[in-house]
Amino acid sequence: MDSIRLKARAKINLGLDVLGKRDDGYHEVRMIMQTVGIYDRIIIKKIPEDEIRINSNLFFLPVNENNLIYKAARMMKDEYNIKEGVEIDLNKFIPVAAGMAGGSTDAASTLFGMNKIFDLGISQSKLMEMGLKIGADVPYCIMRGTALAEGIGEKLTRLTPMPHCWLIVAKPPINVSTKLVYESLDMGGISKHPDSIMDAIKRGDVEGVAQKMGNVLEDVTIPLYPVIDSIKKQMLKNGAIGAMMSGSGPTVFGIFPDEQTALRCQAVLKAQGEARQVYITETFN
């Protein structure tokens, strides 16, 4: 195999709770992660030169060691003494800096793809272990599906797959610093920790999931960027059975009872103009 084409899929958080701050400065979290249908396209090709070349459809993305794809490829080459090089084409569709693990899923796909084209035979658990050295979300992006993430996000437990449902994902034209959001979080000020939604997922109860969703980081991000709350309200007004910010923001997603309702809401959001990118998608397991 000299090349491989991959779909690097995005994630949303159906639940995000912060339990405390660790001595190392990171936060203890408890999250329900879910893969969705939005994806970046990645093509990895072997080249004879001992180089890592990255091409991207977005001019502002780094194509050097500051890109997580590069870090993943370099790790594989160094760890397994790979003398050949790779050329990696990235067509990016997941919104950038959106709380959807776009960079992490690209890195995860690079680890997966290089394992395949160089016939390394690395297990999924080993790939996840390697991915953690790149970022806390990378192991989940290798696993995919519905999962409970604990620790700093690296302790993963696979859950019963989330039942299929239609989603709208909307990103306003702002970027949010995850580091700033966590640094600004007042642990003592968290008034309500999200209820567990795992029982609703296990029952296949989409409405139950929508009602129990929660993200404590909204308490930080929404006051800074009220447009997030405005988009949430528009989704609920236009048929969503639940709407929430994903990760540290600013992306908002809504769960819809059917595709037609989602399509109508998508049209409203596009016409309103508060969100620059509005996608209709679905859960992916």
Among residues 11, 77, 212, 232, which one is catalytic?
A: 11
SS3 of the chain: the string is CCEEEEEEEEEEEEEEEEEEECCCCCEEEEEEEEEEEEEEEEEEEEECCCCEEEEECCCCCCCCCCCHHHHHHHHHHHHCCCCCEEEEEEECCCCCCCCCCHHHHHHHHHHHHHHHHCCCCCCHHHHHHHHHCCCCCHHHHHHCCEEEEEECCCEEEECCCCCCCEEEEEECCCCCCHHHHHHHCCHHHCCCCCCCCHHHHHHCCHHHHHHHCEECCHHHHHHHCCHHHHHHHHHHHCCCCEEEECCCCCCEEEEECCHHHHHHHHHHHHHHCCCCEEEEEEECC
Among residues 92, 137, 171, 212, which one is catalytic?
A: 137
119 is catalytic: no
137 is catalytic: yes
Q: Annotated catalytic sites, by residue?
A: 11, 137
